DNA sequence: AATGAAATCGACCAGCA
DNA sequence: TGCTGGTCGATTTCATT
């Protein structure tokens, strides 16, 4: 084991991860053939990656647009600084329906909240809900005109350097 | 068919979507039992949802933290307004390694870029890459201290009202 | 949309490097 | 510890009603 507690990951693991995060429905045989490995070996590694929570879950990606969720709003939230309720406020933000991402940030703004709704009414309701939270001081919302990339695939967005760091750093 | 070209979705479809976006490894028998349906009916509906691209893909969710990607940066990008290269700039932003989300927004800022890196060096390199893009005027980066929710599950974040809108609006 | 049969796939095992 | 090949059982898949 190395200095940190991350599981050891090699090139083969990265190749498997890249493939299954792109399409988890791939059969073991095909995947094994692509990697010049046996089915069992791939199976073994997949289990290990799941046990180590490198693969957190396998999920169907539901297209928001197919459900009419074509409005994305970004809301900057500032809280009253004397109040030590930052944790509570963050929690309250994540629980609002429509909110899919909450960041706690350094800087003049405390939280950045991303949400997805179907129409202006829902947008107004959502922003109202945020303002109503106890301790919230000021909000500023921005409307997203176009999502150019909404691709939270982890491996696909990594550079070669990042991948090398993973392989070298956990061996 | 209704006024728009979205596929018709009913309560059962929503229940299926909610379940498979949470865990796509569930077997048909269990899912069918939960919904009081036959396996074939669930199978039929799943195929329909995939064909209609309501389910865009099934993917393994790779934990960024397991790969050392524990730094998230949000960068606001403003472009020179006389240049009509907004599309090109947006495209260039999505192609940068580490970038996982790009929004084109209304307001004083033109693009909002989210990226994930392993260390400060990579963060600096990434911001340099953004600044180097032809037409980019000004950038402002914010460091994320904590991700409270990074859960781009679509159905899980929807309110009852939103779900009703889907069901009523596409029947 | 349900049934039941056929094909396919993933899980597991013993043995080995 | 990680890999191989093969077998068994479960699951998906499909034709038919």
Which residues of chain B are within 8 Å of residue A169 when distances are taken between CB atoms?
Answer: 68
Domain shared by B55 and B78, yes or no: no
Reported as a pLDDT band with limits 50, 70 and 90, residue B1 is very low
Is residue B164 domain-resident? no
Strand A71-79 to strand B99-105: parallel, antiparallel, or no bridges (unpaired)? unpaired
Stretch (H or E) spanning B59: strand B55-62
Residue B152: inside a domain, yes or no?
A: no
pLDDT at B167 over 80: yes
Across chain A, mean pLDDT equals 92
Which CATH number does the domain housing residue B80 bear? 3.30.70.920
DSSP symbols for B7-32 = PP--HHHHHHHHHHHH-TT--HHHHH
Considering the domain architecture, whether residues B128 and B76 belong to the same structural domain is answered as yes
Structural domain that includes position A26: 8-61
The secondary element (H helix, E strand) that includes residue B74 is strand B71-79
**Which residue reads 């009253």 in tokens?**
A80
Q: Are B124 and B56 found together in one domain?
A: no
Residue range B49-91, pLDDT digits in tens? 999 999 999 999 999 999 999 999 999 999 987 767 888 999 9
Q: Over the stretch A11-33, which tens digit does the pLDDT of each residue have? A: 999 999 999 999 999 999 999 99
Show residues, CB within 7 A, near nucleic chain C.
A 26-29, 39-40, 43, 46; B 37-41, 44-45
B130/B119 same-domain check: yes
pLDDT for B5: 62
* Same domain? B70 vs B133: yes
Dihedral over Cα of B157, B159, B165, B167: its sign: positive
* A68 and A56 share one domain: no
The answer to the question of residue B169 being in a domain is no
Same domain flag for B41 and B74: no
Asked if B17 and B44 sit in the same domain, the reply is yes
Model confidence pLDDT, tens digit, residues B94-125: 999 999 999 999 888 999 999 999 999 999 99
Is A161 within a domain?
no
Residue B132 burial (CB count, 10 A): 10
Examine the domain organization and report whether A100 and A54 are in the same domain.
Answer: no
**Residue-wise pLDDT tens digits, A99-118:** 999 999 988 899 999 999 99
Same domain as B127, residue B100: yes
pLDDT for residue B103? 97
Q: What is the pLDDT at residue B3?
A: 38
**Distance (Å) from CA B44 to C1' D15?**
14
Per-residue confidence at B8, pLDDT binned at 50, 70, 90?
confident
CA B6 to chain centre: 19
pLDDT of A171 > 60? The answer is no
CATH number at residue B49: 1.10.10.10
Name the 3-class secondary structure at B54: coil
The pLDDT of residue A3 is 40
Q: How many domains does chain A have?
A: 2
Do B69 and B36 share a structural domain? no
What's the pLDDT band for B152 if we cut at 50, 70, 90?
confident
Task: Give the residue from chain A lying closest to B164, CA to CA.
Answer: A67
Within-domain flag for A168: no
């Amino acid at each position: 084991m190395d200095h940190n507690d991350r599981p050891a990951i090699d090139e083969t693991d990265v190749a498997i991860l890249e493939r299954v995060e792109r399409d988890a429905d791939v059969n073991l045989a095909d995947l094994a053939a692509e990697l010049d490995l046996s089915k069992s070996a791939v199976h073994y590694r997949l289990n290990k990656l799941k046990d180590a929570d490198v693969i957190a879950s396998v999920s169907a990606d539901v297209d928001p647009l197919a459900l009419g969720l074509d409005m994305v709003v970004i809301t900057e939230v500032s809280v009253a600084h004397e109040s030590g309720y930052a944790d509570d406020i963050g929690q309250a933000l994540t629980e609002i329906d429509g909110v899919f991402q909450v960041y706690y940030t350094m800087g003049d703004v405390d939280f950045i909240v991303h949400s997805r709704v179907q129409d202006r009414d829902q947008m107004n309701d959502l922003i109202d809900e945020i303002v109503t939270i106890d301790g919230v001081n000021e909000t500023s919302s921005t409307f997203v005109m176009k999502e150019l990339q909404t691709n939270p695939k982890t491996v696909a967005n990594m550079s070669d350097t990042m991948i090398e760091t993973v392989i070298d750093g956990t061996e």
